[in-house]
Chain A
């Protein structure tokens, strides 16, 4: 029979930052199971979209000549921002609910030195990593299609990450505050897809009826799209950029505050 382990060893408490990194480390460790598939789709998706819509459809649009620019150049940065949104949304819905309700990953973490703040922070950092890597691949594909004429395009990467996090943080709050996955389908159907279609990704918002234009301007995606487009095309004005960054940061900040509230309510109150 094995001996019971001896009770020794003094404890050090890991710093707040290393506790957050331990939470991040879990998601990275888990990603080892699925990373191949995500890399393949991260490359394939932009290639297919840019080929079909940017070049195929784009040739028709360009013949109309009303955009004043090549459609591919217009579309590519919009898709970059939209992809950041979709990646962030995907990574923030079921994984968060699962970690609370099904796998109970967060509960396991809470029994260790990790606190709610570390758990939330580490997971958000992980989503930021996923959004950034996906957007980076997208950006490389855009460049290969010859649709990134300016060096400013490099700044579109952090811009896409910011755009993604403007969705991730509020959706974290939603996933923690809402007890049933049914809400995700509604979120996808009534928020994400309409935004994807009407926030300036595929055509200028000025094509919309005026009332709807203001709705589009209020969406975080429009700000992400406009910012990425300006940077990739090299036409971004500083004042506009600051406005976009500020607005998206508000969504990130508000989302983090809300997520923190709902995480505490769910994790500290109930078993």
Chain B
């Protein structure tokens, strides 16, 4: 998509970030061309092109099965690409996996904490995988547990911790090696709203410190909160690319008028009666979405045509609307 490059915005000064010792000045941390992953006959990722710059917060937004996790596992140098070019931190994952992973932080979709060990022991074990000394891990552990607000649980077993705490611990663990890029696969799926906000707050702080974030999500609010730039992914391909604001401006209207005509109403019939009133109408099983720049004005026009919806709601366009427009389907079903 042509909107890609212009959508990039670097919201933080990069002075705090150490330069990577690579050939060119500062290559993209993720560089993919024609990246493809097949499992037998099934194509999970279908020839995508993507660049993620240092300091960026980049998101893959899409429903389950869109190919987000497969993409993340290739970026994380765990799953080798079937086809295409992939460079992570300027290096080739096929030959330099360990060197790349030494500088990545990974928050997997499914927790991989050892629940029989304590919070502190989980960090110790993980730090050892990076070749860190016990003393170095210990110092770092205190700092990280404070950062994720788990200092008082340091000696507790992981097993009884809440879902939100486990996720925060996973984030702390992923930071043990001071990663240059943090990969988060569905970071807040399954968490309650309070835990999600607490997690977003931590991630936002990391972003402010210049850590590059790459995340997948099927929550549009998460994408809007965290991402400078994102791609809408569907069936292994990119349906669109840009900043959340650009995507909304390009693929939706400023406002959305939601009309409900009751449980038994045939929404299709109402859609026909509203023909020509606004740019675009989406018919959902339970409601009509009218895309318009003036929600209140359009609502008045609906009444002028003699229609009496059970409820009307004017709201701003979201990435959900963008996704609906691009794929004809909703994100979370």
Interface residues of A (CB under 8 A from B): 2-14, 16, 18-19, 22-23, 25-26, 29-30, 33, 103-105, 107-115, 267-269, 271
Distance of A52 Cα from B106 Cα, bound (Å): 54
If A7-B211, A111-B76 are given as contacts, then 17 extra A-B residue pairs at C-beta distance below 8 Å, sorted by A number, are: A3-B147, A4-B211, A5-B175, A6-B16, A6-B209, A7-B178, A7-B180, A9-B178, A11-B177, A26-B129, A33-B116, A103-B112, A104-B110, A104-B112, A111-B101, A112-B177, A113-B101
Q: Which residues from chain A contact B175 at a C-beta distance below 8 Å? A: 5
Q: Which residue of A lies closest to B16 (CB)?
A: A7
Q: Which residues from chain A contact B108 at a C-beta distance below 8 Å? A: 107-108, 111, 271
Q: Which residues from chain B contact A22 at a C-beta distance below 8 Å? A: 128-129, 131
Q: Which residues from chain A contact B242 at a C-beta distance below 8 Å? A: none
Pick the residue among B101, B115, B128, B208 that contacts A103 (CB under 8 A). Answer: B115
B78 at the interface (CB under 8 A from A): yes
Pick the residue among B98, B99, B111, B125 that contacts A29 (CB under 8 A). Answer: B125
19 A-B residue pairs with Cβ-Cβ distance under 8 Å, sorted by A, are: A2-B149, A5-B144, A6-B16, A7-B209, A9-B18, A10-B18, A11-B103, A13-B102, A14-B98, A18-B131, A30-B116, A108-B114, A111-B76, A111-B78, A111-B174, A112-B130, A113-B101, A115-B97, A268-B79
Distance of A4 Cα from B115 Cα, bound (Å): 25
Q: Which residues from chain A contact B78 at a C-beta distance below 8 Å? A: 110-111, 267-268
Inter-chain contact A5/B143, CB cutoff 8 Å: yes
B251 at the interface (CB under 8 A from A): no
Inter-chain contact B126/A108, CB cutoff 8 Å: yes
* Interface hub of B18, B39, B174, B206 (most chain A Cβ within 10 A): B18
B67 at the interface (CB under 8 A from A): no
Interface residues of B (CB under 8 A from A): 16-18, 21, 39, 69, 73, 76, 78-80, 97-99, 101-104, 106, 108-117, 121, 124-126, 128-131, 140, 143-144, 146-147, 149, 174-175, 177-178, 180, 202, 205-206, 208-211
Q: Which residues from chain A contact B117 at a C-beta distance below 8 Å? A: 30
- Given A11-B102, A29-B125, A271-B110, the answer on whether A113 and B178 have CB atoms closer than 8 Å is no
CB distance from B333 to the nearest CB of A (A): 21
Query: How many pairs of A and B residues are in contact by the CB < 8 Å rule?
Result: 125
* Interface hub of B21, B125, B146, B149 (most chain A Cβ within 10 A): B125
- Given A2-B146, A18-B131, A267-B78, the answer on whether A115 and B98 have CB atoms closer than 8 Å is yes
Q: Which residue of B lies closest to A14 (CB)?
A: B131
Distance of A72 Cα from B121 Cα, bound (Å): 46
Q: Which residues from chain A contact B205 at a C-beta distance below 8 Å? A: 3-4
Distance of A10 Cα from B21 Cα, bound (Å): 9
Q: Which residues from chain B contact A14 at a C-beta distance below 8 Å? A: 98, 102, 130-131
Inter-chain contact B131/A114, CB cutoff 8 Å: no
Inter-chain contact B18/A8, CB cutoff 8 Å: yes
Distance of A112 Cα from B128 Cα, bound (Å): 10
Q: Which residues from chain A contact B206 at a C-beta distance below 8 Å? A: 4
Q: Which residues from chain B contact A111 at a C-beta distance below 8 Å? A: 76, 78, 101, 104, 106, 108, 112, 174
- Given A8-B178, A268-B80, the answer on whether A109 and B102 have CB atoms closer than 8 Å is no
Inter-chain contact B99/A113, CB cutoff 8 Å: yes
Inter-chain contact B125/A271, CB cutoff 8 Å: no
Distance of A267 Cα from B147 Cα, bound (Å): 31
CB distance from A112 to the nearest CB of B (A): 4
Distance of A111 Cα from B77 Cα, bound (Å): 8
Inter-chain contact B126/A112, CB cutoff 8 Å: yes
Q: Which residues from chain B contact A3 at a C-beta distance below 8 Å? A: 147, 205
CB distance from A2 to the nearest CB of B (A): 4
Distance of A29 Cα from B131 Cα, bound (Å): 15
Distance of A29 Cα from B123 Cα, bound (Å): 13
Distance of A109 Cα from B202 Cα, bound (Å): 24
CB distance from A90 to the nearest CB of B (A): 18
Q: Which residues from chain A contact B73 at a C-beta distance below 8 Å? A: 271
Q: Which residue of A lies closest to B79 (CB)?
A: A268
Q: Which residues from chain B contact A4 at a C-beta distance below 8 Å? A: 147, 202, 205-206, 208-209, 211
- What 9 pairs across the A-B complex have the smallest Cβ distances? A14-B131, A108-B112, A111-B106, A112-B129, A4-B205, A113-B98, A104-B112, A2-B146, A4-B209
* Interface hub of A7, A16, A19 (most chain B Cβ within 10 A): A7
Inter-chain contact B208/A113, CB cutoff 8 Å: no
Q: Which residues from chain B contact A18 at a C-beta distance below 8 Å? A: 131
Distance of A8 Cα from B104 Cα, bound (Å): 13
CB distance from A185 to the nearest CB of B (A): 24
CB distance from A156 to the nearest CB of B (A): 34
Q: Which residues from chain B contact A104 at a C-beta distance below 8 Å? A: 110-112
CB distance from B151 to the nearest CB of A (A): 9
Inter-chain contact B115/A114, CB cutoff 8 Å: no
Distance of A190 Cα from B131 Cα, bound (Å): 43
CB distance from B57 to the nearest CB of A (A): 14
Q: Which residue of B lies closest to A268 (CB)?
A: B79
Inter-chain contact B114/A13, CB cutoff 8 Å: no
Q: Which residues from chain B contact A115 at a C-beta distance below 8 Å? A: 97-98
Distance of A3 Cα from B116 Cα, bound (Å): 29
Pick the residue among A108, A113, A267, A268 that contacts B130 (CB under 8 A). Answer: A113
Q: Which residues from chain A contact B112 at a C-beta distance below 8 Å? A: 103-105, 107-108, 111
